[in-house]
Amino acid sequence: MTEPCTLVIFGATGNLAQLKLLPSLYHLEGAGLLPGDLRIVCSGRTDYSPETWRQQVRDILAQHARDPLAADSCDRFCQRLHYLRGDLAQPETFEQLATLLRGREFPDNHVFYVSLPPVTYGGLIESLDRNGMLAEDGAWRRVVIEKPFGFSLESAQNLQHKISRHLREDQTYRIDHYMGKAMVQNVLVSRFANLMLEPLWNRNYIDHVQIMRTEKLGVGRRAGFYEDTGALRDMLQSHLMQLMALVAMEPPVSMDADDLRDEKVKVLKSVRPIHPAAVDAQAFRAQYARGRIDGVQVPGYLEEPGVDPHSVTETYAALKLYIDNWRWRDVPFYLRTGKRMAEARTMVAICFKQPPKHFFRSSHIERPPPNWLIMSIAPEESLRLEISVKEPGLEMKTRQISLDAPFRCEHEARTDAYEGLLLDVMEGDRSLFLRYDEVEWAWRIVDPVLGVWATERDFVPSHAAGEWEPKEVSRIFDKEHHRWRHLLDPG
């Protein structure tokens, strides 16, 4: 059980709080995992009375909780809630919050969750400190910051300079919700708990690595955010870069926070810098155009509400990276992400090298395809190994078969990534949160690409919504590496 604490959610009336944070806290309540004395202060600009807000939360939970609401759990959860109306641009809002938190009913340990646009981070943290809410006098203070942490290397450095004047690094919890997904954590377990994989996990046996995250959805109501962000910043610089680090890292000394993060930083520092002249060979971007998803006609990106009709913001991004260390020298890592694709899929695919000798040449058999290890993160959670075997019958023919292992049994409940991460914050476990040097080195990798793309504003390739991927992306792939669709449907 964690220590008693007060959780303050800035932006409690926004999408993230309503879709993820409040339902996750409710699920933890139902599981009996919240501290008994936890109090939740929800801050927003809408004018709610305490009872009106509690009813609003009940409506939110009825819509977004995994299962039908349990009356007792819902009642207990709502009793923890307090609502504070205020404009965060006004100093008196923070004065009111400081006065509120000094009340007897609120435990002295405080978590501040900033569920707001990134441009607000620096000023909000400064206001908390100015009103004495970050001072630790026999109690701890922790601040959770959502991604993106900056929009470029320079902006990330400037933001860090601002917040480091008010927060220590051990008080700062930079959240990447992908790190809370069970199957992402299973990448670590699969690697380091199975001795048979370790001898093969290097450049001598692995041909290349593909990490992908695609979705069927478009930008929806996020056009304002997405126009300033794009796929490279939104997904690749954060989520996929973290997955790459987990796949490529050396075994940590322990699973303590800094030991784990030290090894991830070593990977990011080892990524071969992309020279501006090499951007076209190692990076690709595109936008989705009008097309069909599941048989339904959908608009192109430039037709979405709030999107500049001349926008060159990418909705698809792909990178080819090399990690220049002893284990991975000259092994390509392909990272790609896109909206309005044929399937919603997140996976890590490890392609092994083919045997050095073609033993079946005399039997006129085609060279068997390579072995693959596929870690599927979404929609299903599974491990799959693809190997070659002999076909039944008298002729010497081979075929590929899949050895599938689902991660979760049917009776085992799913949990949301935010549930574990919220508990980790309250317990002070920083293992799955990003340290600043991780963020900075990830920006160093993509910054040259962003710089070149910022100057190339005349044309962005497009692809029809519902396609598997833009055809032109094959230019950044070596050999036959771009042929990956069979991984989605081995049958």
Per-residue pLDDT, 227: 93
Which comes out higher in pLDDT, residue 488 or 279?
Answer: 279
Active-site residue, 239 included? yes
3-state secondary structure of 297: strand
The number of residues making up the chain comes to: 491
pLDDT at 490: 44
Mean per-residue pLDDT for 151-160? 95
Under 8 Å between Cβ of 237 and 231: no
What mean pLDDT do residues 364-379 have?
Answer: 82
Residue 486 has pLDDT above 90, yes or no: no
CB burial of residue 491 (10 Å; 0-12, 13-18, 19+): exposed
Of 64, 239, 358, 482, the catalytic one is 239
Where do we find the tokens 């008994």? Answer: 36
Each residue of 120-146: pLDDT tens digit? 999 999 999 999 999 998 899 999 999
Q: How far apart are CA 6 and CA 304, in angstroms?
A: 40
Those residues whose C-beta lies under 8 Å from the C-beta of residue 261, and which sit 6 or more positions away, are: 431, 434, 435, 438
Query: Has residue 111 got a pLDDT over 70?
Result: yes
Q: Residues 322-332: what's their mean pLDDT?
A: 97
Q: Bin 150: left if φ > 0, else alpha if -120 < ψ < 50, else beta.
A: left
Average pLDDT, the chain: 91
Tell me the C-alpha distance between 105 and 416, whole Å. Answer: 29
Work out the pLDDT band at 491, boundaries 50, 70, 90: very low
pLDDT for position 10? 96
Q: What is the CA radius of gyration of the chain?
A: 24
Residue 361 in this model has a pLDDT that exceeds 60: no
Binning pLDDT at 50, 70 and 90, where does residue 483 land? low
Which pair of tokens denotes residue 336?
A: 């790609």
3 state SS of 4: coil
- Once rounded to an integer, what is the mean pLDDT over residues 253-263? 92
Q: pLDDT-based confidence at 412, cuts 50/70/90?
A: low
Most confident of 358-362, 367-371, 470-474: 470-474
Strand order in the sheet with 141-145: 81-85, 39-44, 6-10, 110-114, 141-145, 172-174
Digit-coded pLDDT (tens) for 39-63: 999 999 999 999 999 999 999 999 9
